[in-house]
Amino acid sequence: MQFGIQREVLLKPLQQVVGVVERRQTLPVLANLLVQAQDGKVAFTGTDLEVEMVANIAVEGASDGEVTIPARKLFDIVRALPDGVHIDLALNGERVALKAGRSRFTLATLPASEFPTIDDIELVERVRLPEAVLKDLMDRTAFAMANQDVRYYLNGMLLDLNEDTLRCVATDGHRLALAETALSSGVGSRRQIIIPRKGVMELIGLFEAGEGEVELEFGRNHLRVRRGEVTFTSKLIDGRFPDYEAVIPIGADKEVHLQRDALRAALQRAAILSNEKYRGVKLEVSPNKLCIIAHNPEQEEAVEELEAETGVDDLAVGFNVGYLMDALSALAGEKVQVNLRDAQSSCLLQSSEDDRIRHVIMPLRL
């Protein structure tokens, strides 16, 4: 195997796949990238057995062959080389020689036969949608995913495919984020899959807010996403996601409309004096006014008053201030709508102009 390539052309696919490779592995070969040259194309594959990323680039004059090369070392070398330099890479026995200008590197390899790859998935549904739309859905919900929760099915994101709608949903049990979009072509039957947290973060890093489309292939145990010359495959979490529609509060008819940036800034200031352990703030609603109050064990207090469009009188609810700020950051639009019911009920937070993105936050007893 041998090929020559410009540094910048090689750097992009390496950036796309190297994030999948874990720094600590159960198998030595998992620290490597599988490099396959065939028919004028070179494919780079990285995996951790749960998630796999494959990036292809066209290379003129490449001789066929395959081998695995230490992922992090190869990436660091290419990244550290000067802009515009031409790189020649050749397999010599059990070593790979990399030449660039006056630089020479020799890397150890492992046989390609030892590298585990995900086989063809059993396809049950295929959907196409704009890349920017899917990135936006994931960006606005990923913050609510659980992290290493014993309820393993919460450590990821639900993709809910229903007729002509795709929803992304995430929850950690204290808050829930939901974003949806219409699909141009409907699906045969409802599909619900849970992508693990790492897969979600890799996809968000891969996607760009461009004009292109991505193809989602839903398998029984895998999701495969095709984007140009990059193919991403992830195992799915085998579990039942909670009935998220039952969590969205019904009867939360007490509406408060506020300027999003003003509310977020007020919460940031109040958070400075909130209890460091519980991070609680109290929202007190009265006609045309919202009061944010924070206390801590040192008997310190923060009070923020905001103008609000509301006719609600004398309602006080406590919330985790961090959850409120995360939700506000993930919303779009200048104005937000807070729907409340009573002091013991969760709140529904959404943009005043767009109800496709909804956040639910459980109350705190202060």
What's the pLDDT tens digit per position in 159-202? 999 988 999 999 999 999 999 999 987 777 889 999 999 999 99
Judge whether residue 333 has pLDDT over 80.
yes
Domain end position, chosen among 114, 136, 157: 114
54-57: long-range contacts, CB 8 A cutoff, minimum separation 24: 54/17, 54/230, 54/231, 54/232, 54/233, 55/12, 55/13, 55/14, 55/16, 55/17, 55/229, 55/230, 56/13, 56/229, 56/230, 57/5, 57/9, 57/10, 57/12, 57/13, 57/229
What's the pLDDT tens digit per position in 229-240? 999 999 999 999
In a domain, 226, yes or no: yes
In a domain, 73, yes or no: yes
Average pLDDT, stretch 348-354? 93
Which residues, in sequence order, are bridge partners of residue 107? 96
Same-domain status, 291 and 327: yes
What's the pLDDT tens digit per position in 240-274? 999 999 999 988 899 999 999 999 999 999 999 99
| pLDDT at residue 309, rounded to an integer | 96
Same-domain status, 108 and 132: no
In a domain, 136, yes or no: yes
In a domain, 220, yes or no: yes
What's the pLDDT tens digit per position in 108-120? 999 999 999 887 7
Average pLDDT, stretch 194-218? 92
Nearest to 302 by CA among 277, 271, 278: 271
In a domain, 366, yes or no: no
Judge whether residue 68 has pLDDT over 90.
yes
Same-domain status, 67 and 19: yes
| pLDDT at residue 152, rounded to an integer | 96
Sign of CA dihedral 318, 348, 171, 325: negative
Same-domain status, 241 and 264: no
CATH of the domain at 171: 3.10.150.10
Q: How confident is the model at residue 225 (pLDDT cuts 50, 70, 90)?
A: very high
Domain end position, chosen among 114, 133, 150: 114
Average pLDDT, stretch 268-297? 96
Same-domain status, 253 and 341: yes
Nearest to 36 by CA among 87, 91, 88: 91
Domains: count for the chain: 3
Range of 208's domain? 123-245
| pLDDT at residue 26, rounded to an integer | 85
In a domain, 212, yes or no: yes
Same-domain status, 231 and 290: no
Same-domain status, 265 and 162: no
In a domain, 31, yes or no: yes
Task: Give the separation between CA 322 and CA 281, rounded to whole angstroms.
Answer: 10
Same-domain status, 349 and 312: yes
Average pLDDT, stretch 314-320? 96
| pLDDT at residue 327, rounded to an integer | 97
Task: Give the separation between CA 342 and CA 253, rounded to whole angstroms.
Answer: 10
Judge whether residue 331 has pLDDT over 90.
yes
Average pLDDT, stretch 313-319? 95
Same-domain status, 273 and 229: no
Same-domain status, 233 and 292: no
Same-domain status, 10 and 92: yes
Average pLDDT, stretch 286-312? 96
In a domain, 183, yes or no: yes
Judge whether residue 366 has pLDDT over 80.
no
| pLDDT at residue 322, rounded to an integer | 97
Which has more pLDDT, 326 or 211?
A: 326
| pLDDT at residue 256, rounded to an integer | 97
Domain end position, chosen among 224, 245, 266: 245
Instruction: Output the average pLDDT for the chain.
Output: 94
List the structure tokens of 125. Answer: 């549904």
Same-domain status, 179 and 195: yes
Judge whether residue 286 has pLDDT over 80.
yes
As a whole-number percent, the residues of the chain with pLDDT over 70 amount to 100
Task: Note the pTM of the prediction, 2 decimals.
Answer: 0.91
